[in-house]
Structure 1
Amino acid sequence: AMAGPPGLKPLVAVAQVTSTPDKEQNFTSCARLVREAARRGAGIVFLPEGFDYIGGDTTQTLALAEGLDGDIMGRYSGLARDCGVWLSLGGFHERGQDWATTQRIYNCHALLDPAGSLVATYRKTHLCDVELEGRVTMKESSFTNPGTEIVAPVSTPAGKLGLSICYDLRFPEISLALRQAGAEVLTYPSAFTYPTGSAHWEV
């Protein structure tokens, strides 16, 4: 899908979804968008933070989490393979190998190639703890372990991707480090709340 005349830029797709606690419904919505993007010739599809689900509370968020070897990631692997596209899965609720001892998850940006292989994972290092009086309170650190390292940029048809997630945007050092490591595209898949989104984005 990426072959073409020299200088032709690859087609990328950015999918916007509103996730719920219903993982099946979320997968159906995301899969429809990925298939449509592939039909239109996209070589890589970017899904947002929380593409797998957004829990109603901390207890539900932890209960719904899976490992990278679980059902949901397996289904996205099959989707990438079936559609022949790269998938940037930003913000997967990952139960890591330390789940049994910590009972905390990781906010994981996973990258799949067109064979469905997991080629890179980045765990969000800067967790979002924010309190806007009367509007929104969020304490990601109460149920999420921070990642401990930056991941080397990955070569894709869209260029060398630097993986990060949402709140990492506020810390320019990670962008500088990724750029110095050769990143050509910096990714910040995000699931903003309405108040914080309104304060940051213009459409």
Structure 2
Amino acid sequence: MTSVGSVDKNFETAAVEQGCRMLFLPENCSFLGLAFSESLAVAEPLEGPTMQRYRQLAADSGLWLSVGGFQERGPDPEHLYNCHVVINASGRIQASYRKIHLFDNSVPNGPVLMESRFTAAGERLVACDSPAGRLGLSVCYDLRFPELYQRLTYELGAQVLLVPSAFTVATGRAHWEVLLRARAIETQTYVIAAAQAGQHNAKRESYGHSLIIDPWGEVVGRLQDPLATGIAVADVDLGLLQQIRCRMPVAEHRRLGRLAVHRDFEIL
């Protein structure tokens, strides 16, 4: 998607069917404005009218939806939550995850983005079952913290890791695909990364390149035009996932997750 500063226009773009069981939307799919204050102004509780429209869309279409990044009303007037919401085909909220890692950075030759100025960090890992398998939820900048995905996989049983994003162009060119493929390979899961793409407004541009990656690290779904609005389609084969995990039982070989941390040591 190329989301803009209009909830109505973004909603119309998202309401598309291609005969799939589940549709995954990127971070900021409902709104992406010029200023932090605009995001705070449109923030709503999960029971509010914008999320209700997505819930109705899921029920009307019979699709599960991953609403990859929604401006949820936060703990105080100055902060919102960047909330990833999964809605089932009956229109009920199945799970919600508040982004844990906030992007505070000055991008070389790009924008200065200080997410913590207006966003409160989440504190809870979230996974849920779906027609695509057991989903591990994350958002964008979380991608740079592999321990989050390790815990989603080995502690919460994730088979599909979701990384809805609005990556900057500079960081996307350098790191987007290699990080996504690494997360898939090291956890032996599918990775589905719906991405914002193109010029949103005078200040924001996103890298695009939405990807679906299998547990062997192969890209099995992408748009022909990586900056276009569209839908990449792929099958999730949980049989393949099990074959890969059986042939290379990484979960059984893990040791660091079982070792105690000792803080008393000698500096040589």
Question: TM-score range with shorter-chain normalisation?
Answer: 0.7 to 0.9
Contact 1:136 1:195 in 2 (8 A): no
Q: Distance in 1 between matches of 2:44 and 2:113?
A: 22
Matched position secondary structure for 1:105: strand
Contact 2:108 2:170 in 1 (8 A): no
1:102 Cα offset (Å): 4.5
Structure 2 partner of 1:3: none
Letter in 1 for 2:55: S
Matched position secondary structure for 2:96: strand
Q: Distance in 2 between matches of 1:55 and 1:124?
A: 19
1:184 Cα offset (Å): 0.3
1:157 aligns with 2:135: no
Contact 1:122 1:150 in 2 (8 A): yes
Aligned-CA RMSD value: 1.3
In the alignment, which of 2, 12, 23 is matched to residue 45 of structure 1? 23
Matched position secondary structure for 1:55: coil
In the alignment, which of 50, 74, 82 is matched to residue 107 of structure 1? 82
Q: Distance in 2 between matches of 1:26 and 1:69?
A: 19
> With CA pairs under 8 Å and 6+ residues apart, which has the higher RCO, 1 or 2?
1
1:65 aligns with 2:43: yes
Matched position secondary structure for 1:78: helix
Structure 2 unmatched runs, 5+: 178-208, 210-268
Structure 2 partner of 1:176: 150
Q: C-alpha offsets along residues 38-65 of structure 1, whole Å, 9 cap, x if unaligned? A: xxx2000000000001011111111111
Q: How many residues of Structure 1 are paired with residues of Structure 2 in the alignment?
A: 177
Contact 2:101 2:121 in 1 (8 A): yes
TM-score by length of 1: 0.83
Higher-Rg member (1/2)? 2
Deviating above 6 A after TM superposition, structure 1's stretches of 4 or more consecutive aligned residues are none
TM-score by length of 2: 0.64
Q: Distance in 2 between matches of 1:105 and 1:133?
A: 26
Q: Distance in 2 between matches of 1:178 and 1:134?
A: 34
